[in-house]
Structure 1
């Protein structure tokens, strides 16, 4: 049995994303991670609008990043997302930003929850909510 790969997408570095040192601005790493998270959720939804109709959306609660290698102008990176569901109202997502040559540039560990947008409170059982909404959990998590 082969191990499944996490969700991944490519992003090309643009000139305006660089800092005065000529490498990717620290805040842009977080933006790349956010773009990949949103894309992963959208693809996993497979067109389902169930969470949106229930006025429930993913919300970022914490983000921790470790920078490993600089990213420079014109490079393309892959950003990965791998959800680790547990118990409770939150879940973890492990993310990596990797150059196309395989060099690890950054690792992120983020905490996410699903928020009821009317009550402004986190909902219980995010994994179950995704599943009942028709999301492809195998796209979100290599543990599924």
Structure 2
């Protein structure tokens, strides 16, 4: 089995996202990653509303970012997202923010879970929940 590309999308830097130094504000890197995560989940769902109907949704539990290169006004970056499922209630996601010239601007390591929104508790086996809801797991994992 060969590894597929991770989910990816492009985002163009806007003036209001800059800090006083003239480069992308640190918090916006996180916002770009969140936009890509949400889009990855949305595309993987294929329009399924099964998780929403079960009152279950992805939740971010931890985030670690490494800033590697500055991003400036007008640049278009590519943001990737790749999930890794194991056992238990949480799963991992790796995300990269890459400049148009291929230089890695930031990498993120995330821990996520699926939360039952009424019980306010994480559910077991998030991969199984995604699969039963009809999500395209290969789009999330690159498998």
TM-score tier after normalising by the smaller chain length = over 0.9
SS at match of 1:73: coil
Show the counterpart of 2:131: 131
| Residue 100 of structure 1: how far off its partner (Å) | 1.3
Using the size of structure 2 for normalisation, the TM-score is 0.98
Q: State how far apart, in whole Å, the 1-side matches of 2:87 and 2:105 are.
A: 30
Show the counterpart of 2:79: 79
Task: Tell me whether 1:21 sits opposite 2:14 in the alignment.
Answer: no
Using the size of structure 1 for normalisation, the TM-score is 0.97
Show the counterpart of 1:55: 55
Structure 1 gap segments, 5+ residues each:
none
Aligned 1:96-135 pairs, distance under 5 A? 96-135=96-135
Structure 2 gap segments, 5+ residues each:
none
| Residue 2 of structure 1: how far off its partner (Å) | 5.0
SS at match of 2:22: coil
Task: Tell me whether 1:66 sits opposite 2:66 in the alignment.
Answer: yes
Show the counterpart of 2:93: 93
CA RMSD of aligned residues (A): 0.9
Show the counterpart of 1:40: 40
> How many residues are aligned here?
143
SS at match of 2:4: coil
| Residue 3 of structure 1: how far off its partner (Å) | 3.4
Q: State how far apart, in whole Å, the 2-side matches of 1:24 and 1:124 are.
A: 37
Q: State how far apart, in whole Å, the 2-side matches of 1:2 and 1:93 are.
A: 19
Q: Displaced runs of 4+ in structure 1, greater than 4 A? A: none
Q: State how far apart, in whole Å, the 2-side matches of 1:3 and 1:35 are.
A: 24
